[in-house]
Structure 1
């Protein structure tokens, strides 16, 4: 009898050989999948795990594809964000068959946490302005892997800078393909950003009433084609109600000096993700495109805009412990005079490193980000002996040093004369350190110098690129 067992351990140790005397070379060119056993799934239903495998019982696997199928199956399981560690073990009872054992270490899925957070665009911007009035407090309830079906149920209650109620539900995918989700959000605040001046957001604050109230609701369908192609169709309703003072400060805040705006939007998003990790990829590529229509002409004719947003990322290994990453992205709008609340200034959700303090007035923009990664501390596993919960007592961590270079161009048809960064080439470069650890957390500390000569340290949690 041939017996060979390998372990894929959370992506860190490529192989762990229990019986090095046996060899994959001894089996036939095509191997029959005899059994697949799953263990460690105390909460998760086994079919959710089996759906992520690129092989099933009764398949015949070409020997040349054997390691690749195991590696990609492990990546799929880790990218569900359901597990801290994944092991895929196998043995050959004879030279024609293979038996698999999938062992998972589940995460903690139920979170009831107090909220204490800043409301700025990023942590560095908060440190720069030091305005503690823009803090949020509240409670955050999140049930991941709801019913063991990889469903999500989330509730947020915030007070402070932003008074908000948010409810989100995302269903399981029927046959690992078709699913749906919905969200509802009500937000009210007495301090809002109503414009951009000197390449920075400017704010207005009242002391005794809400200056803006917003209701947003989404209903979406998502469809998974194969293992790596995802489609999502979203119908959204948005409603804004503002005080007259805000409409006077910026007549284009809701368009035409109005203090009320509501509209529907429809968006289609396609995602092809072949990266080895969603959290901190080192190899592979990802493409995402989103075509959206704001204003369907049903409840409001003032909003009329098509937008196209594209993102492509490429990662690879140069040599031992040295990797590269590149990201290309941008957005284009059909309307150059959208209301301020739906404009796409660079510096909100997307920004260039080194420009964290800035918001750049824009109708359209494009950018490229490049980095090299040196694996200063290869991924290691640590055990915290005084914690009895397996979901927290075992963790992984790694440290990377990265030089980076970013560049972009922002177009605005009629920018404010003070916003000098619009319609100009922007770039930055610098050096950073990333700490990668469990529960999808990445802490980044960067030192950057930008094209207008501003230099400094910037801190980020879960920086995308």
Structure 2
């Protein structure tokens, strides 16, 4: 029996292409029939969830020239479900015209009931820099992944501290060529908020014995996955914000025109085409994502009317045996230059440039390009932790990459605060970092960056996209 070892983490497995057999026997026919597929190791996951990710099926035909490509893509699909730590695919040729596949999976741990301790800053480096422990959250986090063995997600979260929150989320599985759905309910109450940006930094206000802001979000969405790599999502969301008079006086544009409440509907369409070898730490392939969101549908009382468009593109590839490159392009634009501060898209929240972690940049529109080169310092290794008896944790994979990087960007803002000098200017930074990639989709990054002003800093990130 010949075999292809398909393991652990998609991007790393993809880099380890030497595990593939050198040749398929020449006497095989040009078109092969899949005689049978057996699956093992799936104690909870339904077999149909695994079958759904395969690019071959029982009694189906496989061209000999496409054999390894189909198997490799099937492996990546299985790993990118985040259901398994390791995946192995064995095969056997029968009578020169048939194939038998055996798929073995090592499942992850799916039920998480944990105490919650987290910082509420925009990023971990910002938290380390300000050292403000009043921005800590505490609570209980319940997440049931692979719910019912169907790759569904159920999440319930209770948080207190800087952010007082109740969150409920349900996602049905995104199966190939199938319609799925989900719903999300989120209530947040805060006694400390960022109410303005001055000197390129967020300015906070904190109250005692009362919540200065409360907001409620409720959404329902439909998703359609087509030909494995194309995902469509349509979302309808209700948004409600209520603030104290103090906050409206400090920044009348927080909810616009000194208002203390804001209620509106949002409608969003998102398209994603993902051909990367891994969704967590890709080394090959590309991904495009675009979305258009209309805030304010005119169906309920509101004073917001905005259309936002977001475009993202990522490209990865191999330059040499252990050398890779990656680029990440992002563009965000808004039709309204006078949106409420509470929903403004400043660079420095979800997206930021390396070297500007401590900054928030006023913007209506911005674009950035991040580029990096990756050198595989430590190729993928598998380690057994003998003192842990649970299979889901006793075996892990890890790799270490060295990365020089360069970031550039431009931020546009109509009539910014004169102290916010980063708006309406070109920005850039460069530096070097180390990424530790391991199981359960975790990437720990240590970066040293220098920005356009010569400011140098050491930054720590968990699961940084670029």
1:172 aligns with 2:173: yes
Aligned twin of 1:9: 7
Aligned twin of 1:289: 290
Give SS of 2:265's match.
strand
Q: Deviations over 1:148-201 (max 9, x none)?
A: 000000011000000100000011346751100001111101100001000000
Q: How big is the shift at 1:16?
A: 5.0
Higher relative contact order (CA 8 A, sep 6+): 2
Report matched runs for 1:400-419 at 5 Å. 400-419=401-420
RMSD across aligned C-alpha pairs, in angstroms?
A: 1.3
Per the normalisation by structure 1, the TM-score is 0.97
Q: Deviations over 1:235-280 (max 9, x none)?
A: 0011011000000000000011000111000000000000000010
**2:424, 2:343 → 1: CA distance?**
20
Aligned twin of 1:143: 144
Give SS of 2:331's match.
strand
**2:459, 2:24 → 1: CA distance?**
50
Q: Deviations over 1:90-116 (max 9, x none)?
A: 001220000001110000000011111
Report matched runs for 1:93-132 at 5 Å. 93-132=94-133
**1:309, 1:297 → 2: CA distance?**
22
**1:329, 1:190 → 2: CA distance?**
33
Contact 2:3 2:89 (8 Å CA) reproduced: no
**1:90, 1:15 → 2: CA distance?**
17
Per the normalisation by structure 2, the TM-score is 0.97
**1:283, 1:370 → 2: CA distance?**
14
Aligned twin of 1:364: 365
Number of aligned residue pairs: give it.
Answer: 461
Aligned twin of 2:159: 158
Q: How big is the shift at 1:288?
A: 0.1
Aligned twin of 1:452: 453
**1:8, 1:288 → 2: CA distance?**
27
Aligned twin of 1:219: 220
**1:126, 1:89 → 2: CA distance?**
47
**1:124, 1:213 → 2: CA distance?**
27
Give SS of 1:245's match.
helix
Where structure 1 has 5 or more consecutive residues not aligned to the other structure, the ranges are none
Spell out structure 1 runs of 4+ moving beyond 6 A: none
Give SS of 1:148's match.
coil
Contact 1:8 1:14 (8 Å CA) reproduced: no
Aligned twin of 1:26: 27
Contact 2:2 2:91 (8 Å CA) reproduced: yes
Give SS of 1:223's match.
strand
Q: Deviations over 1:44-67 (max 9, x none)?
A: 000000000011011111111000
Distance change in 2, residues 1:356/1:102 (3 Å): same
Contact 1:364 1:410 (8 Å CA) reproduced: yes
Report matched runs for 1:436-451 at 5 Å. 436-451=437-452
Give SS of 1:92's match.
strand
Report matched runs for 1:317-328 at 5 Å. 317-328=318-329
Distance change in 2, residues 1:428/1:102 (3 Å): same
Report matched runs for 1:29-428 at 5 Å. 29-173=30-174, 177-428=178-429
Q: How big is the shift at 1:5?
A: 2.7
**2:197, 2:20 → 1: CA distance?**
59
**2:326, 2:175 → 1: CA distance?**
34
Contact 1:236 1:264 (8 Å CA) reproduced: yes
Where structure 2 has 5 or more consecutive residues not aligned to the other structure, the ranges are none
